[in-house]
Amino acid sequence: MRRNGPLALIFHTIFVIVMVAPILVVCLVAFTPEGFLSLPTNGFSLRWFRTIANYPEFIHAFWVSLGLGALSSLVGLLFAVPAALAIARYRFRGRDVLAALFLSPLMIPHVVLGIAFLRFFTSAGLGGSFAALIIAHVIIVFPFALRLTLAAATGMDRSVEMAAVSLGAGSWTLFRRVTLPLILPGVISGWALAFIQSFDDLTMTVFLAAPGTETLPVRMFLYIQDNIDPLVTSVSACVIAITMTALILLDRFYGLDRVLAGKGDTGR
Amino acid sequence: MSMAAEERSARAPWALTAPALMLFVGVLLIPLAMTVMLSFHDWGQYKGIEPVFILKNWHEIATDPYYAEMFWRTFRIAILTTLLTALLGAPEAYILNRMSGRWKSFFLLVILGPLLISVVARTLGWALLFGGNNGLVNKLLMSLGAIRSPIPFMFTETGMVVALAHVMMPFMVLSVWAALQRLDPQIENAAMSLGASPATIIRRIIMPQIMPGVLSGAIIVFSLSASAFATPAIIGGRRLKVAATLAYDEFLNTLNWPLGAAVATLLLVALVLIVVGSNALIERRYAEVFR
């Protein structure tokens, strides 16, 4: 195969710079010592990170986001793991329809989901509640939890399970002692990817959150709508740092390329 | 297999998927159906939502040119974003694919990583780079002599397309990348040994083979751009409305839920038709090529 020529490398360099620039500029501006938006030319300062402490609504929103992401991903997995095992192992009528239904939240615009959930939970008397946010987030993280669990379950060696059954293991013991440990890397990565999706969602959550249940992206969005100042860049820098940490863990555990390429779509 | 075991294995998949199925029917399909129904209800400033069946909202969307203009803007932005990601993302995926192992995985991470970073943070980055008439982007372009006077990026469609293209780029690179993995590098070598110029190789060998990847990437980018909310809301401001930001306004500011539901329903139906239609078209087109 031919190597990249100089023109290709120039294109590549510009491309990468443009891809990184917006993220980099947010992180740089966060360290400005000035009272206004500017690149830190006279040394770095943590003043805007300290200022976050004076805004309890950001800190509260952070805890809401963290709890919401952790819980909804966990609940999503409770539903997704059995469903993934069924889709990976059995050929039954309606299997393709079910798989399509379970992946459909990827296809439906989040603005439509937000509206549908707002209408639904308001008529159910749950409008603006944390419970409503959890249920809504379970739906949007479900495809990610399902896909990674499915990939793990499809690639699993069944002979160990057969050995366990022949030794007299009951179905619960079989799942707990054999199947679950074998698919655990996929399940944990599914949880992490689901967490990131939930932690970052703005479009759907902005319809459902009420004061008190605002998540961090919602709080940031509402803040940016009024004015953009260095405070919101330091909050963004923290969010980027958290996501990066999750990404690195995900990469170590599972391989980021596999996660992003979404290998093993419906196990076909 | 015994009778009992056979019966169990027929019931097992349903028992395992039942909880998820009930969840999806209960809190996805029913709310979606309720939204479609909501779009046929009446609404008034003082009486609120009236559960009657009328076509008022649909009639308003069909006849008021404001909505036609808004939907046309939404799809125009989505089309331009798709073109921009295809024109830049496809060559980049090709260049990436020709890099050696470690650089390849490093740059793949750099380009795909932003996919998982908060859209609000990424759009905020563009708002900072655009920043009025003396933003960094304009300063850079002027010092390079590319433009004479600053281009207005904030609160314009140009700015929205640039920021959206950045947000959507990883999807395009990923999709073309996947198509490139199926390509046999020996074909390229064969063409070269037969005396084809690099331009001919790209046009006759590479392009036709990565086209399915470009097109499926384009479908993803288009549907996500047409329903994008955060980027148009932050870059476009309060005046330049697209479908998602208009629906948001109807729901949370004007409180005319039935009209907002009609806008959302129309967006969903239009996107499903476009995505399903173009998928079918691509499959037929390329089924013929490979037959």
Question: What pLDDT, on a 0 to 100 scale, did the predictor assign at position A112?
Answer: 96
Structure tokens at B259: 């009209």
Q: What confidence tier does B136 reach under pLDDT thresholds 50, 70, 90?
A: confident
Number of Cβ pairs closer than 8 Å across A and B? 244
Q: Where are the beta strands (DSSP E) in chain B?
A: 42-44, 48-50
Distance CA B289, CA A20 (A): 38
Question: What pLDDT, on a 0 to 100 scale, did the predictor assign at position B291?
Answer: 43
Contact A207 B229 (CB under 8 A): no
pLDDT value at A108 more than 80: yes
* Beta carbons of B92 and B173 less than 8 angstroms apart: yes
Which residue, B145, B127, B143, is CA-closest to B135? B127
The answer for residues whose C-beta is within 8 angstroms of residue A261's C-beta and 6 or more apart is B174, B178
Question: What pLDDT, on a 0 to 100 scale, did the predictor assign at position B5?
Answer: 56
pLDDT value at B133 more than 70: no
Amino acid in the structure at residue B254: T
How close does chain A come to B253, measured CA to CA in Å? 11
How close does chain A come to B203, measured CA to CA in Å? 16
Residue ranges per structural domain of chain A: 55-261
Mean pLDDT of A171-180: 90
Average pLDDT over chain A, rounded to an integer: 89
Mean pLDDT of B195-206: 85
How close does chain B come to A9, measured CA to CA in Å? 8
Q: What is the CATH code of the structural domain delimited by A55-261? A: 1.10.3720.10
3-state class of B187 per DSSP? helix
What backbone torsions phi and psi does residue B270 show, to the nearest 5 degrees? -60, -45
What backbone torsions phi and psi does residue B43 show, to the nearest 5 degrees? -145, 140
Structure tokens at B286: 């390329």
Contact A119 B248 (CB under 8 A): no
Contact B248 A207 (CB under 8 A): yes
Contact B166 A19 (CB under 8 A): yes
- Select the more confidently predicted residue: B131 or A264: B131
Of A1, A3, A203, the CB nearest to B230: A203
Of B34, B99, B260, the CB nearest to A4: B99
Instruction: Quickly tell me which residue has 């539901």 as its tokens.
Output: B261
How close does chain A come to B157, measured CA to CA in Å? 18
In this structure, whether the domain defined by B66-120+154-290 belongs to CATH 3.30.200.20 is answered with no
Most confidently modeled range among A8-17, A152-161, B105-114:
A8-17
What backbone torsions phi and psi does residue A143 show, to the nearest 5 degrees? -60, -35
Contact A11 B24 (CB under 8 A): no
Structure tokens at A105: 């939240």
pTM of the model: 0.90
How close does chain A come to B54, measured CA to CA in Å? 18
The secondary structure of B197-239 as a DSSP string is: -HHHIIIIIIHHHHHHHHHHHHHHHHHHHHT--HHHHHHHTTT
Question: What pLDDT, on a 0 to 100 scale, did the predictor assign at position B109?
Answer: 83
- Which chain B residue has its CA at the smallest distance from A142's CA? B20
ipTM of the complex, rounded to two decimals: 0.89
Question: What pLDDT, on a 0 to 100 scale, did the predictor assign at position A75?
Answer: 98
Q: What confidence tier does B219 reach under pLDDT thresholds 50, 70, 90?
A: very high
How many angstroms separate the Cα of A64 from the Cα of each of A131, A211, B27?
A: 12, 11, 22
pLDDT value at A17 more than 90: yes
Q: What confidence tier does A257 reach under pLDDT thresholds 50, 70, 90?
A: low
3-state class of B38 per DSSP? helix
Q: What confidence tier does A231 reach under pLDDT thresholds 50, 70, 90?
A: very high
Distance CA A51, CA A32 (A): 12
pLDDT value at B6 more than 60: no
Structure tokens at B229: 């909310």
User: Residue by residue, what is the 3-state secondary structure of chain A?
Assistant: CCCCCHHHHHHHHHHHHHHHHHHHHHHHHCCCCCCCCCCCCCCCCCHHHHHHHHCHHHHHHHHHHHHHHHHHHHHHHHHHHHHHHHHHHCCCCCHHHHHHHHHHHHCCCHHHHHHHHHHHHHHCCCCCCHHHHHHHHHHHHHHHHHHHHHHHHHCCCCHHHHHHHHCCCCHHHHHHHHHHHHHHHHHHHHHHHHHHHHHHCCCCHHHHCCCCCCCHHHHHHHHHHHCCCHHHHHHHHHHHHHHHHHHHHHHHHHCHHHHHHCCCCCCC
Question: What pLDDT, on a 0 to 100 scale, did the predictor assign at position B49?
Answer: 87
Question: What pLDDT, on a 0 to 100 scale, did the predictor assign at position A259?
Answer: 67
Q: What confidence tier does B147 reach under pLDDT thresholds 50, 70, 90?
A: confident
Distance CA B186, CA A56 (A): 61
Mean pLDDT of A51-72: 94
* Beta carbons of B35 and B265 less than 8 angstroms apart: yes
Question: What pLDDT, on a 0 to 100 scale, did the predictor assign at position A266?
Answer: 31
Structure tokens at B206: 């590479």
Q: What is the pLDDT of residues B229-244, one digit of tens each?
A: 999 999 998 889 999 9
Question: What pLDDT, on a 0 to 100 scale, did the predictor assign at position A263?
Answer: 39
Structure tokens at A25: 């500029």
Q: Which residues pair with B44 in a beta bridge?
A: B48
pLDDT value at A221 more than 60: yes
Looking at residue B147, the DSSP 8-state letter turns out to be -
Percent of chain A surpassing pLDDT 90 = 63
Distance CA A94, CA A97 (A): 5
pLDDT value at B77 more than 90: yes
Q: What is the pLDDT of residues B168-183, one digit of tens each?
A: 999 999 999 988 888 8
Mean pLDDT of A83-87: 94
3-state class of B274 per DSSP? helix
Instruction: Quickly tell me which residue has 């037969």 as its tokens.
Output: B194
Mean pLDDT of A182-207: 92
Q: What confidence tier does B218 reach under pLDDT thresholds 50, 70, 90?
A: very high
Q: What is the pLDDT of residues B31-62, one digit of tens each?
A: 999 999 999 999 988 888 888 899 999 999 99
The answer to whether the Cα torsion of B207, B213, B216, B219 is positive or negative is negative
Question: What pLDDT, on a 0 to 100 scale, did the predictor assign at position A260?
Answer: 63
pLDDT value at B212 more than 70: yes
Percent of chain B surpassing pLDDT 90 = 58
Question: What pLDDT, on a 0 to 100 scale, did the predictor assign at position A265?
Answer: 36
What backbone torsions phi and psi does residue A10 show, to the nearest 5 degrees? -65, -45
The answer to whether the Cα torsion of A208, A210, A216, A218 is positive or negative is positive
pLDDT value at A2 more than 70: no
The answer to whether the Cα torsion of A185, A186, A187, A193 is positive or negative is positive
Which of A115, A123, A225, A235 is most worth mutating to test chain B (most B CB atoms within 10 A of its CB)? A115
Distance CA A203, CA B261 (A): 15
Question: What pLDDT, on a 0 to 100 scale, did the predictor assign at position B173?
Answer: 95
Percent of chain A surpassing pLDDT 70 = 94
pLDDT value at A122 more than 90: yes
Question: What pLDDT, on a 0 to 100 scale, did the predictor assign at position A268?
Answer: 28
Amino acid in the structure at residue B192: M
CA A160-A164-A167 angle, to 5 degrees, is: 140
- Which chain B residue has its CA at the smallest distance from A28's CA? B125
